[in-house]
Amino acid sequence: MPLISSFDPWKNSTCTCPPKLTLNPYSGCDHGCLYCYASSYVQNFAECRPKKDLLQALKREAAKLKGEIVSISNSSDPYPRAEAGAGLTRRCLEILSESNCRIQIITKSNIVTRDDDLLTKVPSSVALTITTDDDNLARILEPHAPSSTERLRAAQDLIGAGIPVSVRIDPIIPLVNDDPSKLIATLAGIGVKHITSSTYKPKPDNWRRLSQALPKIAEKLKPLYFQQGERVGGNTLLPKDLRFKLLSNVRELASARGMKFGVCREGLPTLNTAACDGSWLIPAAAR
Ligand code: SF4
């Protein structure tokens, strides 16, 4: 299995991402998000560890790149807490910044700002996941990730350094973070150009975590997902009309502030006003 591989090789019917490659410097993740999907298919997920032979394999594979987008990361976060000391993602970026590629970082950590010198050497963008502007709620949803305030400051710093930023309000959980109006106004004010959003999709282990942390909410969500919901692209989703209502609201809020919008694996591609993942923000050629 190559280290840099095709994103979504299974061609999920709900995925509207443009073609891109994916690289995960780490297996597992230590942010501990209640809603994490990757924890259902990666063993010992909370034990974050570097990929085997990471740097040697990356050097070999990066030499063969021909201008593709490399998305870092999609089944883990490239900036877990350990990255502050280990610097493995930074070393990957050092290699990639000398290669023929374009980079999309996906993270919920402000450690990414440490690497702005490398991200300005190569066409790149950063997608920061910010599910709420309420630090107390974020501590429940994403217990070990940097606070929302720190992530917002990171977005501002990256934009200040000339690196385009999109924000993933992802996932939206009904009754928990389904009114992002204040967050979107803040994001527009700091110069974010694109919002990607999706609704929460329960898997057995993330549903267990959510039910333990937010039992009253889980009780209300249960019939919405497990009686009235639908199966789409291998996922259990909210009823279509409710997904449409929640995500249209985000789209309208974003559009009213001049931002583009895309949905992630919802079976609602007509809501997209640009490439869903915000990759249109990556400059076409070296700066
Ligand atoms: S940051 Fe992403 S991969 Fe890590 S626990 Fe949270 S949702 Fe999972």
What structural domains and CATH numbers belong to the chain? 5-277 (3.80.30.30)
Q: Is the pTM of this model over 0.85?
A: yes
The 10s digit of each residue's pLDDT in 108-123 is 999 999 999 999 999 9
173 lines ligand 1 (CB under 6 A): no
Nearest CA to ligand 1 atom 3: 76
- 73 preceded by a cis bond (ω within 30 of 0): yes
What's the whole-number mean pLDDT along residues 165-192?
A: 98
The rounded Å distance from CA 19 to ligand 1 centre is 22
Q: Is 283 exposed, middle or buried (0-12, 13-18, 19+ CB in 10 A)?
A: middle
Residue 218 tokens, joined: 């889980």
Does the C-beta of 48 come closer than 6 Å to ligand 1? no
Report the alpha-carbon distance of residue 279 to residue 224 in Å, rounded: 32
221 CA distance to ligand 1 middle (Å): 22
Mean per-residue pLDDT, 99-106: 97
Q: What is the pLDDT of residues 223-264, one digit of tens each?
A: 999 999 999 878 999 999 999 999 999 999 999 999 999 999
Quick check: CB of 170 below 6 Å from ligand 1? no
Nearest to 66 by CA among 20, 1, 115, 121: 20
Is the minimum distance from the CB of 201 to ligand 1 under 6 angstroms? no
- Ligand 1 center from residue 123 Cα (angstroms): 25
Cβ(29) to ligand 1 under 6 A? yes
Atom of ligand 1 nearest to the CA of 35: 7
